[in-house]
Amino acid sequence: MPEVSSTLPTGTATQVRADRRPGRVRRVGRRAVAIVNHNRLTRIGFLLTALFVLIAVVGPMILGDGTKQDAGILLSPSGAHPFGTDDLGRDLLTRSVAGSRVSLFVALGSVGLGLLVALPIGLVAGYFGGTWIDELLMGFVDVILALPLFVLGLFLLGITGTGGSQVGPVFVSATLKVVVVIAVGAMPFFARVARAATLNERQEDYVNSLRVLGVPRWKIIFGEVLPNVLPPVMVQAFLWMAIAIFAEAALSFLGLGIQPPEATLGNILSDASSYMLTGAWWYSVLPGAFLSLIIVGLNLVGDGLSDALDPDLRT
């Protein structure tokens, strides 16, 4: 392969970036659209995810407050109460919809916060792969990775408590605590995927060309490498949204997450566990089915995006 001369004319760096940018991103984008349009399971996943987001955003505005105790106790599903009522006479459909908004916030917040921390770590570690910078950053990541998510949650929430906490002038709500715990658990996975993708990108000709042209490292990393690293990271992000929703529900079920009367799918199921043998099947089955559908939907979307990035499926 011929070497790139350091005396290339002005504007070549811009041309290198322009020539490179459409390639992989466009191919991956076209493939992702093709997977969504021609894969039934992925279409179902997008439909379930879009429906969940719509319900989480619009539902509470229509159904109102899920803390109202204005009905009979443990009423079975009916026209007035499609999901029945709980042990305090609250409408379970209203509470499930309110809980879905919390789940959406936790999923987006934890994944967004995890990406915000992990992407720079993975990009820098991958770009300087094999050096002390790489070893230092990934050593930090490996330490966090060694702690299972629920052990980390038990530790942090056990120390700070399950309610809100005052940290100096800032009040940290229970919801934000759960977001931070899940974000810390997700961060190592995002960082490792970003690092692996960056190691591959670092070998590409456009990176070598930009180095020779004297383009600053930070511009190469965050301006040129980052867009080509995002697709595999976004696959991991969709999968982690499902994990985040499940983790929030599990923490709430164990009494370590968001506490009543604020509704979450996890604490609804926690309350329902005391009535599972009394014939109130709707108390756990219907909110549980709601939770399962969104987790399945997000996993199907993640699998579809993963197929779009599979070299064996590319045309």
Indicate the number of domains in the chain.
Answer: 1
Tell me the CATH number at 262: 1.10.3720.10
Domain span at 276: 48-313
Instruction: Name the β-bridge partners of 60.
Output: none
User: Residue 265 and residue 246: Cα distance in Å, rounded?
Assistant: 9
- pLDDT tens figures, 258-275: 887 888 888 888 888 888
Helix (H, G, I), strand (E, B) or coil at 298: helix
pTM for the full model?
Answer: 0.80
Q: How far are the Cα atoms of 10, 45, 57, 86, 279 from residue 299, in angstroms, in the given order?
A: 47, 7, 21, 30, 32
Q: What is the pLDDT of residue 157?
A: 74
In this structure, is residue 181 part of a structural domain? yes
Q: What is the pLDDT of residue 33?
A: 66
Tell whether the model's pLDDT for residue 132 goes beyond 70.
yes
- pLDDT tens figures, 175-213: 888 898 899 989 999 999 999 999 988 888 888 888 888
Quote the percentage of the chain above a pLDDT of 90. 15
38 — pLDDT class (breaks 50, 70, 90) = low
Dihedral of alpha carbons 221, 224, 229, 230, sign: positive
In this structure, is residue 2 part of a structural domain? no
In this structure, is residue 41 part of a structural domain? no
- pLDDT tens figures, 8-19: 444 444 444 444
In this structure, is residue 98 part of a structural domain? yes
In this structure, is residue 24 part of a structural domain? no
Across 297-313, average pLDDT: 73
2 — pLDDT class (breaks 50, 70, 90) = very low
Tell whether the model's pLDDT for residue 35 goes beyond 70.
no
Across the chain, what does the average pLDDT equal? 81
Across 105-125, average pLDDT: 93
In this structure, is residue 34 part of a structural domain? no
Q: What is the pLDDT of residue 5?
A: 43
Across 206-232, average pLDDT: 86
Q: What is the pLDDT of residue 166?
A: 67
For residue 146, which phi and psi values (nearest 5 degrees)? Answer: -70, -15
In this structure, is residue 23 part of a structural domain? no
- pLDDT tens figures, 69-78: 777 888 888 8
In this structure, is residue 165 part of a structural domain? yes
Q: What is the pLDDT of residue 30?
A: 67
User: Residue 282 and residue 83: Cα distance in Å, rounded?
Assistant: 7
Across 45-60, average pLDDT: 89
